[in-house]
Chains A and B, each alone.
Chain A
Amino acid sequence: MAAISREEVAHLARLSRLAVTEEELDTFAGQLDVILQAVAQVGEVAAADIPPTSHSVPLTNVLREDVVTPCLTPEEALSGAPDAEEQRFRVPRILDEDVAS
């Protein structure tokens, strides 16, 4: 049985904000199925009482004195933006027109 269906891959693509083509869906569904069946091997390990590891070094909050240090100017920060206006990133519309009006 396949580990993942074409419909599930289409759902994942939507969640991932990837406007994939129908042809890509066919390819990815098969490939992701092979990969998922292989990585599912982690389930063979008896690990119910094992704590998870998220990082190899112990993580603690890193704090510093609240002093101003050099940082990017607005022009530098916006220098790679596809669109900018009045020192801000300009984005396509976020609200539907009937909501916005």
Chain B
Amino acid sequence: MTDVTAMTATQIAGLVATGAASAVEVTQAHLDRIAAVDGRVNAFLHVDTEGALAAARDIDARRAAGEELGPLAGVPVAVKDVLTTKGVPTTVGSKILEGWRPPYDSTIVERLRAAGTVMLGKTNMDEFAMGSSTEYSAYGPSRNPWDTDRIPGGSGGGSAAALAAYEAPLAIGSDTGGSIRQPGAVTGTVGAKPTYGGTSRYGLVAFSSSLDTPGPCARTVLDAALLHAAIGGHDPRDSTSIPAPVPDVVAAAKLGATGDLSGVRLGIVTEFGGEGAEPGVMATFREAVDTLTKLGAEIVEISCPHFRYALPAYYLIAPSECSSNLARFDGVRFGLRTGDDGNRSLEEVMSLTREAGFGPEVKRRIMLGTYALSSGYYDAYYGQAQKVRTLITRDFTAAFERVDALISPTTPFVAFPLGARTSDPYQMYLADLFTIPSNLYGGPGISVPCGLSEGLPVGLQVMAPTMADDRMYRVAAALESAVGTFTPPAL
């Protein structure tokens, strides 16, 4: 049998469905790959060897019994450590939850199991999903398989690195300001942020509840679409879940793969015209635009005048919600408690616990949010940011009256060296310059590899209207059919 770790999820599912390979064989091959390379990549915080093999044996038994299995049955998947997994450690990349084993599964993990996928383990991330490099993980950074001295993106850098290192064919991420798309871009993999409310937040450890969106990561657009279809859809346990079916993203990916985009109108955002972006990234993006034109797409330029305020608005809204959400880490119900010597008060123990359990970026954002929400500053900061959010939404709505989707580079720069942006937090924030607008608006976005700049991957982002996730898959799959997929040098 050829090396299954080099295969797509679609190919693996085909092998398992026909009996050419067992789910156990496929799972063991990926566990072996993790054992061989993860010392250099650090994509995983926890590898659930026993759980994965048990799940794989269950799939093989059900197949042997003649049971009808789903399109991803027997395919291994890596899950970002932001989602609860019953009995399996969930840290959110933080010391404050070190050793915590949740008593329940998140909806996404439940649906992964129902789809017959095999969870390999939990992937590394910036603490509480706050960061763009995994350098804010309390457990050390993950490394980019393209160059292990460089960042794999963040916050979901572990999931993206696991894909690029062939440790898993599928992975789950979560995207609050770009945490699926930016790691996808810098590792040469595919990452999709669904429409907000299109995937359930039940069991997703909350960072910014009006923005947090779990979603699929893969090495091909079709694989991402299959995973999206498996995890998406209404969940009564999430009050912001949209009670409507997931758009047919799999059909859209297959349609796009024919390489025909005639009749599709795409808009290039004028405000993303190069300011703050590396010349090599812009050059690669422009070549991809030429490719899309050759595939039949009509390209127009569209001004979205308020997009330049998306980053500042985001860094008021997200920290404000974070300061409220992270109040639950109080050393009482779960996780770390420190300084409880029998004499100190609850409040003192709480302050010592949070000081010891949170890392610097989380502390900065909690304090920033506390500031933006305090009386006297509320209107000028949080209130004003919410109004800017309305204007950004109006920019999107106006743009989608003229075009089917918007396109841009996913990130302003290729993977940067470890340590290059940690001393100045605002420099790290700039990594999400092009991804944040979709989060504020709530619409879907996907990053698909479009080429290399100085030997490192560049991603193209497709942004679509809310609940039109299928459109971005069509465009992304068409581009992929023309430019191919990108494989990093051997580790």
**A18 CA / B370 CA spacing, docked (Å):** 12
Taking Cβ atoms with an 8 Å cutoff, the residues of B that contact A are 100-104, 196-197, 210, 236, 239-240, 242, 306, 309, 312-313, 315-316, 323, 327, 330-337, 340, 342, 344-352, 354-355, 358, 360, 363-364, 366-368, 370-371, 374, 380-381, 383-391, 393, 424-426, 429, 440-443, 466
CB-defined contacts of B197 to chain A, threshold 8 Å = 56-57
**A65 CA / B393 CA spacing, docked (Å):** 35
Closest Cβ–Cβ distance, residue A32 to chain B (whole Å): 6
Q: A18-B358, A35-B368, A77-B103 are in contact. Are A91 and B346 (CB under 8 A)?
A: yes
**A28 CA / B306 CA spacing, docked (Å):** 29
Q: A39-B381, A59-B240, A79-B101 are in contact. List 15 more A-B contacts (CB 8 A).
A: A15-B370, A16-B370, A17-B354, A19-B348, A35-B429, A41-B312, A42-B309, A52-B383, A53-B389, A57-B197, A76-B104, A80-B102, A92-B344, A92-B345, A94-B346
**A53 CA / B358 CA spacing, docked (Å):** 30
**A52 CA / B384 CA spacing, docked (Å):** 8
Closest Cβ–Cβ distance, residue A99 to chain B (whole Å): 11
Closest to B197 in A: A57
* Cβ A57 vs Cβ B242 within 8 A: yes
Closest Cβ–Cβ distance, residue A51 to chain B (whole Å): 6
Q: CB within 8 A of A81: which of B104, B239, B334, B384?
A: B334
Chain A contributes a number of interface residues (CB within 8 A of B) equal to: 54
> Which secondary structure dominates chain B's binding surface?
helix
Interface centre among A17, A28, A59, A77 (most CB of B within 10 A): A17
- Judge if A68 is at the interface, Cβ distance under 8 Å: no
Q: A9-B367, A16-B370, A44-B309 are in contact. Are A38 and B103 (CB under 8 A)?
A: no
**A15 CA / B442 CA spacing, docked (Å):** 31
Q: Map CB proximity to B onto A36-58 as digits: 1 under 8 Å, 0 otherwise.
A: 10111111110100111111110
Q: A12-B367, A92-B345 are in contact. Are A17 and B441 (CB under 8 A)?
A: no
Q: CB within 8 A of A89: which of B102, B333, B348?
A: B333
> Which secondary structure dominates chain A's binding surface?
loop
Closest to A9 in B: B367
Q: CB within 8 A of A50: which of B103, B344, B390?
A: B390
Q: CB within 8 A of B389: which of A14, A41, A52?
A: A52
Closest to B104 in A: A72
CB-defined contacts of B309 to chain A, threshold 8 Å = 41-42, 44-45
**A36 CA / B374 CA spacing, docked (Å):** 14
Q: Map CB proximity to B onto A57-86 as digits: 1 under 8 Å, 0 otherwise.
A: 101001010000000100011011111000
CB-defined contacts of A92 to chain B, threshold 8 Å = 340, 342, 344-346, 348-349
* Cβ A80 vs Cβ B334 within 8 A: yes
Q: What are 30 A-B contacts defined by CB distance under 8 Å?
A: A19-B352, A19-B354, A31-B424, A32-B367, A32-B368, A34-B425, A38-B312, A38-B426, A42-B309, A42-B385, A43-B380, A44-B309, A47-B390, A50-B391, A53-B387, A53-B390, A55-B240, A56-B196, A56-B440, A56-B443, A57-B240, A79-B103, A80-B102, A80-B334, A81-B334, A82-B336, A83-B337, A83-B340, A89-B332, A89-B333
